[in-house]
Structure formats: C-alpha cells, structure tokens
C-alpha cells in the first residue's frame, strides 16, 4: 500500500537506484551521493574487503558540501577508487615496509568499516587492516595445483607470478617446478 507524502507517492518497497540494482538488500544514501569512490557504506554488512592496489595518484575530489579538494587516491582492481587519508597511507607503509607509493602497486590490502570522531561527531570511515592479507596456500592437494603446473609448462606464467597470488612452501615450490618441467 502506497502512502502520499507531499507531491510524491511513497512506496513501502525499497527505492531501486538506477545506478545499481540490488535485489533483497538496502541502499545506503551515501552510495547515491559519493558514487565515484568506495566508502564504509560500500561494504555489505560491515564485512572486510580485500583489494589490490593498481595505482596511486592525486586528483580533485568533490566533497558532500560541494567543496573540491586535492586528495591522494588509490585505484583498485575491480573496485571503485579509495581516497587515501594519512592514517591509511601510514598503515600501507607499515604493512609493506616502504613509504614509496610506487612499491604499493600490485599489493593487497584489506579494508574494513569503522567510525572515528571528527569535530565532535562520530562518522563512518574505511580503514586498512594492519597486516597484509594472507595468501591462499598452493600445494599438490589444492584444486589450483594442476592449473598452475600447466601454466608453468606452457609459459603463460612464472613462479614469481604464482608466488604473488599464492603461498608456497619451499618444498612445494621445488615440487611445482619439477612437475612443470
């Protein structure tokens, strides 16, 4: 049953954003205001999200009040960009033991939503977990083992590339190289 609210009819059903249709979930209002960047509101039900940094740059960002400000922004693989504040930059520096942003490219970070006090008001924000995400193990019992061996055999990957995506013990590294030869 719809209700009249001023000149608009208010439906008891959830508003569906033309930008992204979500079935059986609700839309945080900030997803409609700041749609160009990932925020705490982007993570469903407060879940962590592990992402890969693909670039770091400075760009003009328009805030909710319309004011433009130059910010440091991380582009992320398969996600919206992340505005990096000093706290998150320091966390990445500590995780990967380098302040050089060029060294952050290709690195994985885990985002999580939390809150902070700003000018006496509690606001949502994204923070970065203070440890590098754990890579999945690759061993002969892993479902990906045969594919990794085949990729090494046909030279479509290298052991270095595999080690960027998987954790390999030294014994398993020797074994996969032997299996691929």
Give me the pLDDT at residue 11, please.
Answer: 42
Q: pLDDT digits over 1-36, tens only?
A: 444 444 444 444 444 444 444 444 676 655 555 678
Give me the pLDDT at residue 28, please.
Answer: 61
Give me the pLDDT at residue 9, please.
Answer: 42
Quick one: 39 exposed, middle or buried, by C-beta within 10 A (0-12, 13-18, 19+)?
Answer: buried
Give me the pLDDT at residue 32, please.
Answer: 59
**Cβ partners under 8 Å of residue 24, min gap 6:** none
Give me the pLDDT at residue 14, please.
Answer: 45
Spell out, as residue ranges, where the chain has pLDDT lower than 70. Answer: 1-25, 27-34
Closest to 34 measured CA to CA, from 51, 49, 19: 19
Give me the pLDDT at residue 107, please.
Answer: 93
């Amino acid at each position: 049953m719809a209700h009249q609210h001023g000149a608009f009819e208010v439906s008891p059903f959830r508003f569906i954003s033309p930008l992204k249709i979500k079935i059986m979930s609700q839309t945080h209002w900030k997803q409609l205001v700041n749609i160009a960047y990932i925020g705490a509101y982007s993570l469903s039900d407060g879940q962590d999200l592990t992402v890969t940094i693909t670039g770091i740059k400075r760009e003009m960002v328009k805030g909710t009040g319309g004011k433009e400000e130059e910010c440091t922004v991380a582009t992320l693989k398969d996600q919206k960009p992340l505005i990096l504040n000093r706290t998150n930059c320091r966390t990445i520096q500590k995780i990967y033991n380098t302040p050089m942003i060029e060294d952050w490219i290709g690195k994985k970070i885990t985002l999580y939503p939390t809150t902070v006090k700003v000018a006496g008001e509690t606001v949502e924000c994204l923070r970065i977990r203070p440890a590098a995400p754990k890579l999945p193990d690759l061993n002969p019992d892993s479902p990906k083992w045969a594919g990794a061996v085949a990729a090494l055999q046909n030279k479509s990957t290298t052991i270095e590339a595999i080690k960027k995506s998987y954790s390999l013990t030294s014994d398993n590294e020797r074994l996969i190289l032997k299996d691929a030869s």
